[in-house]
């Protein structure tokens, strides 16, 4: 199996953390979807990473589908609960965390355009999503050890990946001061080998 990805994508980081947690062998093929010679559209018509290339030649995307597949491939250690209520809760956390990553990536791209082309209104709209998302996650996490049922799961992996991306691209956000519950979770997650091995690199 191969994972086609950049080393900065928060979506790919979720997948890489799951691979590490489950100890699944997978070659990482670095491909930046913005570069002129990218091969990503050959594997994903949407031109986005991550893409999983399976040994039978088939491809899987996006990160949520890949993570589900990895959970089926190797159910232990379990990162997606079987209990339906908990599963839906984990998926909701994942959607919220991925939404923050999405808004952050959108701002990053907007800021790469020439200043004449950039829309501050558009950037502010994305910043509002990030701020509201962080507030909601911080409130929901509260004093709980982990996002769902006090147990480490895909929810924590998605949240940790989104927070790591904010640290990487938006260090000026200083979210830790405003969202102490998330700061505490991020500190706990950073101790895990899977998180330490997948910190985004430029
Ligand atoms: N929902 C997708 C999002 C993937 C995504 O947006 N990836 C970005 C990198 S962080 C990308 O490849 N963008 C290239 C493009 O939009 O053309 C997932 O979870 O995999």
Domains and CATH numbers, the chain: 2-73 (3.40.30.10), 84-192 (1.20.1050.10)
Average pLDDT rounded to a whole number, residues 104-117: 96
Among 126, 1, 18, CA closest to 76? 18
Residue labelled with tokens 């979506």: 11
Mean pLDDT of 21-46: 97
Residue 48 near residue 57 (C-beta atoms within 8 A): no
How does the average pLDDT of the chain come out, rounded?
A: 97
**Any atom of ligand 1 within 6 Å of the Cβ of 64:** yes
Instruction: Please report, for residues 57, 113, 143, 167, 199, the alpha-carbon distance to residue 14 in angstroms, rounded to integers and kept in the order given.
Output: 22, 27, 24, 16, 11
With beta carbons less than 8 A apart as the criterion, state whether 170 and 163 touch. Answer: no
Q: How confident is the model at residue 45 (pLDDT cuts 50, 70, 90)?
A: very high
pLDDT at residue 202 above 90? no
Average of pLDDT values for 118-128? 97
Sequence-distant (6+) residues with CB within 8 A of 130 are: 100, 103, 104, 166, 173
44 lines ligand 1 (CB under 6 A): no
Ligand 1 pocket, 32 CB below 6 A?
no
């Amino acid at each position: 199996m191969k994972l086609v990805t950049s080393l900065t994508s928060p979506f790919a980081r979720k997948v890489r953390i799951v691979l590490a947690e489950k100890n699944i062998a997978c070659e990482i093929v670095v491909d930046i979807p913005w570069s002129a010679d990218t091969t990503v559209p050959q594997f994903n018509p949407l031109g986005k990473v991550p893409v999983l290339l399976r040994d039978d030649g088939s491809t899987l995307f996006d990160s949520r589908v890949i993570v589900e597949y990895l959970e089926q491939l190797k159910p232990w250690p379990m990162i997606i609960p079987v209990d339906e209520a908990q599963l839906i809760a984990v998926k909701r956390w994942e959607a919220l965390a991925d939404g923050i990553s999405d808004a952050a990536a959108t701002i990053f791209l907007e800021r790469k355009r020439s200043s004449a082309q950039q829309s501050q209104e558009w950037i502010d709209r994305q910043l509002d999503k990030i701020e509201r998302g962080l507030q909601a996650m911080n409130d929901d996490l509260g004093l709980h050890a982990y996002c769902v049922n006090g147990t480490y799961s895909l929810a924590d992996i998605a949240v940790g990946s989104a927070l790591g991306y904010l640290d990487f691209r938006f260090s000026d956000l200083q979210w830790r001061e405003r969202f102490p519950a998330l700061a505490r979770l991020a500190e706990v997650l950073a101790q895990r080998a899977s998180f330490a091995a997948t910190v985004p690199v430029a």
